[in-house]
Amino acid sequence: MNFQVNLQGVIDLLSNHLYSDPGVFIRELLQNGVDAITARKRLGHSFEEKVKAEIFPSSHTLSFQDNGCGLTESGIEQFLARIGSTTKKDNLDASDDFIGQFGVGLLSCFVVSDEIVLITRSALEGDSLEWRGKPDGTYQIKKLKKDVSVGTTVYLKAKPEYEEYFEFYRVRELLQKFGEFLAAPIYLIEEKYEQRINESLPPWRMDKEAAMTYVEDATYNKPLDIIPLRSILGGVEGVAHILPFAVSLQDEKKHKVYLKNMLLSDKMNNILPPWAFFVNGILNTDSLRPTASREAFQENDLFFTVRDELGECIKSHLIGLAEQNPELFKRIILVHYASIKAMAVEDEELYALFIRHLNFETSYGTMDMAAITSLHSSILLTPTLDEFRQISRVAKSQELMVINGGYVHDFELVRKVASVMEHVKLTVLDILEFSNRFEPLGREEQMDVQPFLELSDRLLMKYQCQSLIRWFEPADLPVLYNTNQEVNFFKLAEESEKEANALFTDIVHVIRTELYEKPYARLCYNYNNQIVRKAIASNDIRIQQVCIELFYTQSLLMGNHPLGPEELRLMNDSLLEFMNMGLDRANGADL
């Protein structure tokens, strides 16, 4: 048994739902006219090819005429009365000049008109024929008594609410949009006024300066550069223009793509690789296969191969630009910096191209990677912004090159730097071990400070902090507090355990005590600091205790670390006690 087809429903589906814009009927009429001219040229006929659109404003009627091959009666039966048939389908090959191939294009006219009237005369036979089709699937064919010129004319009368598409300015706009670069001359006529539509040279045939001007006129933005695009396999030639403003990777890409010089889409988003976010393309192809709506390409193996080839064109151009015009190359990076970083993380070739020119925050200030690696072959990398801030000042005093990996993508970018710069040694910094890089105390000095360290450890144990003493610069920094996300997590877990209900408390307790070993922050006293040495030398345990409490809480404040309730109480109590000690001594001296 065969499927039962509702012909009216099929025509409604194709004419009203296949295309994204009613104005696409102009493209389909153009395509049919140009393909008919191509077919007649293949017959060896000599004629002055021409496509004419004429508007009859009083009746909201449009005629579309070509002097191509025309249709015979059998051709009408085969190609206009059978959905899915086309004069071009059987002749398609790699060198084909036809644009259409699905046999549904003329149905787009039913979007704007309730009837299609087609007058035609074949270049092979002499009969002049009229075909009238309606969206319910019915049609009529009759022979005309009066001969017409070889070719085809389509007449459409506007539906209510679609009259706009039959006005001069709108038809001209659509003809220019779709047919600007077609070889066959296209004319628009209204009453006695006639205008030639397509006299422009396509941008993929222009030199660089002309292409820059074309893009600027079309977009009202002067591009940073023009990149030639070519794919022999896909029969693609075109240009990509580098956008002069920053765009997001998530922004919709709007590449203009032509099929045999006919605009297929001005909003195609996948003809260039996803990483090529910083360019918009204008491309023409004669080999990629369009979908039935001719608003996109079939995503087959050839499509993806062509896309990769076009991506290589962009990469090669950027590589050449980095060597031949470094100022422009740096400007491109400056404009598209955030997105280039995201792109370089994903693509090894682009990473190798861009990494030397990307800026990073370091212990010596903001520098590009080329400058960083020229000054230091050994680099330390912090995973978070907080860890970098804890040590950046001290690191510079120790002549250590530390890069902040806390910004988006920076950690991944810097971590791979040794893969393209072999002389560089990169170490991901363990912030809790950073103070071990400082100069240790001598044996006698270590014995002198040991009681102070033991007191500090006892006092700070409840705050999940351990102590050590080292020599380091700058001397005016008495202590350096280092913590990481794991320590902070355990502190937060402890606070949650105190305040949570019994069930949640048990869960948190298991996580803290059984699944992980408890980590400790580090408070490193600077033996190079006079106040620290005075505190250590004091024989008064209570003064040492107050100093330790103040060193600890002040280090939290200086490092922008959050203070919990216990630490706030500790800071207030120790500060008040220290003030009382001073006041008592001052009053005693006065007495």
- Is-contact 220 256, C-beta < 8 A? no
Number of other CB atoms surrounding residue 138 within 10 Å: 10
> What pLDDT is attached to residue 470?
95
Please list, in sequence order, all residues whose beta carbon lies within 8 angstroms of the beta carbon of residue 467, skipping any fewer than 6 positions away: 453, 456, 457, 460, 522, 523, 524, 525
Domains (range + CATH), the chain: 7-196 (3.30.565.10), 218-328 (3.30.230.80), 436-484+519-590 (1.20.120.790), 489-516 (no CATH)
For the record, the structure tokens of 228 come out as 């030639």
Question: If pLDDT is split at 50, 70 and 90, which confidence band does 102 have?
Answer: very low
Tokens 């505190």 map to which residue? 535
Cβ-based neighbours of 140, under 8 Å, separated by 6 or more = 130, 131, 132
The region of weakest confidence among 174-178, 194-198, 508-512, 555-559 is: 508-512
* CA-to-CA dists, residue 563 to 462, 491, 574, angstroms: 14, 11, 15
- How many residues are given for the chain? 591
**The pLDDT value given to residue 15:** 57
Does pLDDT of 89 surpass 50?
no
pLDDT at 7 over 70: no
Q: What's the CA gap between 427 and 419, in Å, rounded?
A: 13
Q: What is the pLDDT of residue 111?
A: 87
Give residue-wise pLDDT tens across range 280-294: 999 999 999 988 777
Write out pLDDT tens, residues 515-549. Answer: 456 789 999 999 999 999 999 999 889 999 999 99
pTM for the whole structure: 0.76
| E strand residue ranges, 445-529 | 465-470, 479-482, 521-526
- Least trusted range by pLDDT, from 16-20, 240-244, 544-548, 572-576: 16-20
pLDDT category at 100 given cuts 50, 70, 90 is very low
> 104-149, pLDDT tens digit by residue?
678 888 889 999 999 999 998 878 999 998 888 888 999 999 999 9
Strand 479-482 with 521-526, pairing: antiparallel
User: Are 277 and 344 within 8 A, CB to CB?
Assistant: no
Q: Does pLDDT of 590 surpass 60?
A: no
The pLDDT of residue 99: 45
Distance from C-alpha of 264 to C-alpha of 96, rounded to nearest angstrom: 17
Mean pLDDT computed over every residue of the chain: 87
3-state per-residue secondary structure call for 399-427? CCCEEECCCCCHHHHHHCHHHCCCCCEEE
Least confident residue range of 20-24, 272-276, 469-473: 20-24
By percentage, how much of the chain surpasses pLDDT 90?
65
